Structure 1
Amino acid sequence: MFKNHPRGLPVLFFTEMWERFGFYLMLGIFFLYMTEGPNAIAAKSGLGLSEEQGSDIYGTYIALVYLTPFIGGLLADRVLGYRRSIVIGGLLMGLGYCGLAIPGFGPTFFLSLLLIILGNGFFKPNISTLVGNLYNDERYRDYKDAGFNIFYMGINIGAFICNFVAAYLRNTYGWGYAFMAAGIGMFLGVAWFLSGMKHTAEADVLKPAKPGDQPVGQILAAVFGPAAVFGALGWFLPEMVLGAGKTVFLSKSNDAFLFACIPVTYYYFTLWRRADGEDRERIGALLPLFAAVIAFWAIFHQNGAALTKWANEYTRREIPEVVVPVADVVGAVQRVDTSLREVIIRDGHGDPVKGPDGKPAKELGPDPYFNNMPRDQWPKPPAAECTAEVIPPETQAKCKDAQTKLVSTELFQSVNAFFVVVLTPFVVGLFSFLRRKGKEPSTPGKIALGLFITALSTLVMVAATFATHNGADKGSAMWLVATYGVITLGELCLSPMGLSLVSKLSPPRLTALMMGGWFLSTSIGNKLSGILSGLFSLFEHKSGVFFLNFGGALLACFMVLLMLPRLRRVMNKYLK
């Protein structure tokens, strides 16, 4: 696999694999952990937040975790170097994941998220920059796109494995053990990177600043000072103008974040405006592309919220008894308590029925998983001996067997990663074949194709909403498998190609900073993913969010198509 590629590629491949193991393990259970209620076993109790609160925190976290690469990329370009930044970032993230293992919704929870957010800022843009720099050698230059595809496969091997580990640990021992595993994975990645430092030394070369370049302190003050002011305006101004409790983007944190992005975005505009000659053309070609790919990330990262909700509540997940022993081995089984409790009454469309007080009406029933299943398919309540506060050891096995066994929700997060690992050789091989025939699409052309395929993936979920009568019935798991399969093809055409294009077109001394711009686009898209996921329960028909996704991806695709002539001209001029 690494033939014809630099020796540093496997070092970065496995480092990123372990980093993504931790990142996606945490992401796969984060929304579930926040919205899960109390459990008889304390270690398995979640935070009990509402879905709206969970979506808001999820969207803010996934946005900030991709906003800090602006700082990390800048400091690496000018001060720290790429390898040192990667080590700092990895250690911070490992500590943050371990911090989440401490239960409770308090200062430790938010401090842990802050460590992960800052750590990703140091790690993410700089490891991608090192990959690109490895291919500056003339011997490897033609293999850069393929190198990023291989690197991207490493990301998804980690993302595939992690959810099985998460499911086993949180179902068997509790949430804290799963978060701790994410931290251990990150520390393993740092150790692997340190062991192979000599193979990446040639790629860790800082380019001298030009006389007109701003000092780091001045850039940070010029960007994040105004960002803090705009964030405060976003927090307070909508309520002052629109009235108490009113917001522009569904929550105060959404408003604050998107307002704060305005001066950061403006900085990149001024970076282009102040540049001249070759730098101006290179930066000017990348900035519109950054704007277009926001739509992709707004759709793609709904996997951690809206699609997780769909998997948890609207997907049939029962496991046949004959499969349970094998599924238990790989941590795939989630056992559901079938004792009666209060559940929300839903109408034929799956929407809550309002009681006389205007609140959702409730009745006695089993776990909420069974809400949108016919009553004749509800499980029988367990025997009284299985609902006692203390269950004798001799009856524990019988009670465990009486529980309903489901596929753990977070395992659906591995479907995308599985398709990436399986389809990457096919995509790389197809583009290699087209290259030999002289018909390979340009890198921007691949990005446009990726956005179009992403638009098609949203239509799969539109069909799922109609097939399940707007969520009134359980749907087949194949709807999620299909939508992940289609969007993965789009992802393989877009995400590694975007990293490759930023590496190719960025002015050499600003590569990591421009990588920060790519991740700024990711950040804004991620925040929008949280906003769109929050709309999921507000639409009368659940297809509404997926139709919005379709329109956004299609519009972004047309934007890139319109930019293709300019992008090709700049690439032909400077990348010969």
Structure 2
Amino acid sequence: MKQHPKGLPFLFFTEMWERFGYYLILGIFVLYAIEPEGIGGGLGLPDKVADDIFGTYIALTYLTPFLGGFLADRVLGYVKSIYLGGFLMGIGYIGLGIFKDLPLFYTSLGLIIVGNGFFKPTISTLLGNLYSEPEYKDKKDTGYNIFYMGINIGAFVCNIIAAFMRNKFGWGEAFITAGIGMFLGLIIFSFGLKHVKKASEMKPAEKGDTKISDVLVKVFLPAIIAGAIGWVVPTLVLGKTIFGSTNTDAFIFACIPVIYFYASLYFKANSEEKRPIGALLSIFLVSMFFWAIFKQNGTALTRWANYYTDREISAPLVNPLKSIYMIDGDKDENGKKGKTGLSFVNKEVPIYDNEFRTEKGEDGKTLKTTGKDIYFRNIAPEKKAELEKNPDQKVYLYNTELFQSINPFWVIALTPVVVAFWAFLRKRKKEPTTPTKIMIGLFITALSCLVMVFAVFAGGNGAVKVSPLWLVASYGVITIGELCLSPMGLSIVSKLSPTRITALMMGGFFLANSVGNKLSGILASTWYSYENKEYYFLVNFGLLIFATILGLSMLKRLNAVMKEKGV
């Protein structure tokens, strides 16, 4: 890093710890939400409700950076925004670990959402400003690659720590760890303040800049009003929600004035700006489908890992890291009560239906019975026979959230391969255009859904647990799609946006991410509508193929706009 700005390592580790906390929450959120309250110490929410809350949460974390970025640019400044955002997120993470009362739990989520809005766009802007000096300009892309690696290191490590903390201590301590990580990031940032001081100077307003008042009055205020209408009116007038929940109704209603605003940018644009804006809106549309499938890693794919994947590991392999992998037992070898393995013995457990949902009584509390742990329901017949002969033996598992580390692992492993592949084609003047890369990414992501279709067939539609390699393969394929699409999305916004509305169009990109994230929760909540789970993944495949075909139909025009802009 000697050839890079001195502030880069400090921003690298600040972002690494911030992403550590953010992805730690995503890895265990649904697991914690659906865990029976009396037995497992979770919230005991219905699976569909948990998916809905998760989708809304990740949607809003991608929506607030739009406004947070504007406030950092024009009002607060970058340093204050990072401290404010990091502090709110840290307190929010700790709140999730302390409060089980739902209003306070939701308040903690709100703090994270608002804090992320200030932090996420600001630290990326600071990084870009570090490379504004002439001696660093040609190293900017490399700097962002290094920074992106920090994100994925944080995302990779966090799930291992989360598994250790919840096994050794509990859910609350795992959430609190995320908060500690965030505050550690702020401490590192403080040590590097002198190296980012110049990059954090606020730029004076220029003619043609988008005004905050315009954003508030024309975008956010109408969205808030529409969201409130969506939250209240359908249930009052129709007696039921339109899209399955008040959260979803409110979110979709809130999106209507925002989408109208972006459409108006196109229709009001002059002839020179109309085609680039239209091209970007097209990219936003197709990218929503990608995020709708990609973000199911925290819902549908976590559910698959939890109930349909063989997570057994032999005891000798886990002795050095026993607390990470051993759960739900009675006593360890020293006679101490602890979480040291799953026992194939009679004990009090929740009652689950045939879809692995906990059943509740009329009082709303989880029903209990005496019997085998839910993990054993669909283990291989030969393993079940072995356990029936020796019911007191321990079965050691690795935690479900560890699967969340597969995607960042693949990002770290495959990024050099994908970059080298594009460089190889570039030398031969055959490198695809940015829009073409995005369409390739959509198609490859669709193939990851087919991997899961074959996984369903391999397990007889859930009758028998399948190898974890199916998820490893699916995540590997979708990561290639991610590397083709996600970095290209930000790149194309910077290339095509008219200068006077670049921030607005970047906000549009985040909006597309936000809508896609919400759709991921909606899609995941339909899991129980499919008796044959291969149809669930085939629907996801079909949505991405539709998006690919839609994108290909626009590709000629998109490439023409890129050529006109000389990029």
Q: Same fold (TM over 0.5)?
A: yes
Q: Deviation per CA, 1:236-287: give whole Å up to 9, x if none.
A: 444456x433x33222211211111111222222344444466555433322
2:434 aligned residue: 443
8 Å contact kept, 2:210–2:500:
no
Superposed counterparts of 1:332-351, under 5 Å: 332-334=325-327, 335-338=341-344, 339-341=346-348
Q: Give 1:107 deviation, angstroms.
A: 2.9
Superposed counterparts of 1:199-218, under 5 Å: 199-200=195-196, 204=200, 215-218=211-214
Q: Does 1:376 align with 2:385?
A: yes
- Supply the distance in 1 between the matched residues of 2:276 and 2:133 (Cα, whole angstroms): 20
8 Å contact kept, 1:160–1:414:
yes
Q: Give 1:131 deviation, angstroms.
A: 4.2
8 Å contact kept, 2:229–2:250:
yes
2:453 aligned residue: 462
1:394 aligned residue: none
1:549 aligned residue: 540
8 Å contact kept, 2:352–2:374:
no
Deviates most, 190-199 or 414-423 = 190-199
Q: Does 1:366 align with 2:357?
A: no
1:314 aligned residue: 308
C-alpha change, 1:158 and 1:265, in structure 2 (3 Å) is same
- Supply the distance in 1 between the matched residues of 2:172 and 2:352 (Cα, whole angstroms): 33
- Supply the distance in 2 between the matched residues of 1:560 and 1:5 (Cα, whole angstroms): 38
Q: Secondary structure at the match of 2:98?
A: coil
1:18 aligned residue: 17
- Supply the distance in 1 between the matched residues of 2:233 and 2:71 (Cα, whole angstroms): 33
- Supply the distance in 1 between the matched residues of 2:173 and 2:32 (Cα, whole angstroms): 12
Question: 5+ residue gaps in structure 1?
Answer: 384-401
1:490 aligned residue: 481
1:244 aligned residue: 239
8 Å contact kept, 2:348–2:368:
no
The code of the aligned residue for 1:293 comes to: S
- Supply the distance in 1 between the matched residues of 2:2 and 2:414 (Cα, whole angstroms): 19
The code of the aligned residue for 2:347 comes to: L
Report the identity percentage.
55
C-alpha change, 1:287 and 1:11, in structure 2 (3 Å) is farther
The code of the aligned residue for 2:20 comes to: F
8 Å contact kept, 1:504–1:575:
no
1:261 aligned residue: 255
C-alpha change, 1:220 and 1:110, in structure 2 (3 Å) is same
- Supply the distance in 1 between the matched residues of 2:279 and 2:433 (Cα, whole angstroms): 14
- Supply the distance in 1 between the matched residues of 2:2 and 2:499 (Cα, whole angstroms): 26
Alignment TM-score, normalising by the size of structure 1: 0.85
Q: Give 1:12 deviation, angstroms.
A: 3.4
Q: Give 1:554 deviation, angstroms.
A: 1.8
Q: Give 1:295 deviation, angstroms.
A: 0.7
- Supply the distance in 2 between the matched residues of 1:173 and 1:53 (Cα, whole angstroms): 26
Q: Does 1:290 align with 2:287?
A: no
Q: Does 1:426 align with 2:417?
A: yes
Number of residue pairs the alignment of both structures matches: 546
Q: Give 1:512 deviation, angstroms.
A: 4.0
Q: Deviation per CA, 1:514-568: give whole Å up to 9, x if none.
A: 3322121111111111111111111121122211211221222233334434444
- Supply the distance in 2 between the matched residues of 1:382 and 1:170 (Cα, whole angstroms): 26
8 Å contact kept, 1:100–1:176:
yes
C-alpha change, 1:35 and 1:343, in structure 2 (3 Å) is closer
8 Å contact kept, 1:148–1:496:
no
Q: Secondary structure at the match of 1:439?
A: coil
Superposed counterparts of 1:80-479, under 5 Å: 80-133=76-129, 147-200=143-196, 204=200, 215-239=211-235, 243-245=238-240, 247-276=241-270, 280-328=274-322, 331-334=324-327, 335-338=341-344, 339-341=346-348, 364-373=370-379, 374=381, 376=385, 402-479=393-470
C-alpha change, 1:308 and 1:258, in structure 2 (3 Å) is same
- Supply the distance in 2 between the matched residues of 1:194 and 1:317 (Cα, whole angstroms): 41
Question: 5+ residue gaps in structure 2?
Answer: 328-340
2:330 aligned residue: none
8 Å contact kept, 1:97–1:182:
yes
Q: Deviation per CA, 1:105-135: give whole Å up to 9, x if none.
A: 3332111101100011112223334445556
Alignment TM-score, normalising by the size of structure 2: 0.87
The code of the aligned residue for 2:424 comes to: F
8 Å contact kept, 1:152–1:496:
no
Q: Give 1:160 deviation, angstroms.
A: 0.4
C-alpha change, 1:82 and 1:95, in structure 2 (3 Å) is same
Q: Secondary structure at the match of 1:404?
A: strand
Q: Deviation per CA, 1:454-504: give whole Å up to 9, x if none.
A: 011010111111111111211111111110111011111111222233233
8 Å contact kept, 1:23–1:182:
yes
Superposed counterparts of 1:40-55, under 5 Å: 45-55=41-51
8 Å contact kept, 1:415–1:481:
yes
Q: Secondary structure at the match of 2:262?
A: helix
Q: Does 1:71 align with 2:76?
A: no
Deviates most, 188-197 or 566-575 = 566-575
- Supply the distance in 2 between the matched residues of 1:292 and 1:574 (Cα, whole angstroms): 21
- Supply the distance in 2 between the matched residues of 1:58 and 1:181 (Cα, whole angstroms): 20
Q: Give 1:573 deviation, angstroms.
A: 4.2
